[in-house]
Amino acid sequence: AQSVTQPDIHITVSEGASLELRCNYSYGATPYLFWYVQSPGQGLQLLLKYFSGDTLVQGIKGFEAEFKRSQSSFNLRKPSVHWSDAAEYFCAVGEAWANNLFFGTGTRLTVIP
Amino acid sequence: GAVVSQHPSWVICKSGTSVKIECRSLDFQATTMFWYRQFPKQSLMLMATSNEGSKATYEQGVEKDKFLINHASLTLSTLTVTSAHPEDSSFYICSARTTRSVHNEQFFGPGTRLTVL
């Protein structure tokens, strides 16, 4: 069965520091992978996605993620965090032959000055 | 492009009443729309998938008689919470796939906060 694990429930980083949010998935075939960001009381905004090809994908707001098949991971990174990046981040995996997206439990990011 | 709106953004209702939430794709046609529910500090749980012109497919454990979904056009899906109770209070988010979507890409609405008193 498909599943997504985000091991870190809450991460705190200083503004300007680098960031890495972890995501591990379980899926039999090549997954379609997504990272979404959700600000309090808001819907989800797509940061980036991976379908195939180059395993390092660039997204909006300076985010990038790397697909590592051997580790079943799709970690999100940003070299320098801004205070406005404080939000909830969700990793999701999609199936090739179905409509569903499976979401991880999310990682809440706090940015301190 | 690919903007999804929801209305209302928040609603408060009395226990026992029904509430309708609209999900619209503003600049594209959505053959498939999804309804998710999100409890505080938790992830999104898929409730149902609706295809234009056909009955919605509900996930296991979701009461289809309580959460009525209608997808009457390619730009509008509605979720009606019937006989709402306080335990139905939650954040409801819809998403949509375009007719050109590949790889399960979905576009999400801003969500509707439902509070049942």
**What is the tens place of the pLDDT at every residue in B3-29?**
899 999 999 999 999 999 999 999 888
Task: Give the list of residues 6+ apart from residue A5 with CB closer than 8 angstroms, or none.
Answer: A23, A24, A25, A26, A104, A105
Task: Give the list of residues 6+ apart from residue A10 with CB closer than 8 angstroms, or none.
Answer: A107, A108, A110
A99 interface with B at CB cutoff 8 Å = yes
Own/partner long-range contacts of A63-67 (Cβ < 8 Å, ≥24 apart): A63/A35, A65/A23, A65/A33, A65/A35, A67/A33
Give CA angle at B37 (B31, B39), nearest 5°: 160
**Token pair for residue B13?**
């209702």
pLDDT of residue B117: 95
Task: Extract the runs of DSSP E, i.e. beta strands, from B1-117.
Answer: 4-7, 10-13, 19-25, 30-38, 44-51, 57-58, 67-73, 76-81, 90-98, 107-108, 112-116
Average pLDDT, chain B: 90
* Mean pLDDT, residues A33-49 taken together: 89
Q: Which amino acid is at B88?
A: D
Alpha-carbon distance B4 to nearest alpha carbon in chain A (angstroms): 10
pLDDT greater than 80 at residue A10: yes
Predicted confidence band of residue B51 (pLDDT cuts 50, 70, 90): confident
Q: Are strands A32-38 and A24-26 parallel, antiparallel or unpaired?
A: unpaired
Q: Residues 50 to 69 of A: which have CB under 8 A from any B CB?
A: 51
Q: What is the interface size between A and B, counted as CB pairs within 8 Å?
A: 58
Please, which residues bridge with residue B46 across strands? B36
Q: Are strands A87-94 and B30-38 parallel, antiparallel or unpaired?
A: unpaired
* Comparison of pLDDT for A107 and B29, the residue scoring more: A107
CB contact under 8 A, A99 and B44: no
Task: Give the list of residues 6+ apart from residue B63 with CB closer than 8 angstroms, or none.
Answer: none
Percent of chain A at pLDDT exceeding 70: 95
pLDDT of residue B99: 67
pLDDT of residue B89: 95
* Comparison of pLDDT for A52 and A64, the residue scoring more: A64
Write phi, then psi, for A84 (nearest 5 degrees): -75, -5
3-class DSSP assignment, residue B105: coil
* Mean pLDDT, residues B109-113 taken together: 93
pLDDT of residue B101: 66
Q: Residues 28 to 47 of B: which have CB under 8 A from any A CB?
A: 32, 34, 41-44, 46
pLDDT greater than 80 at residue B103: no
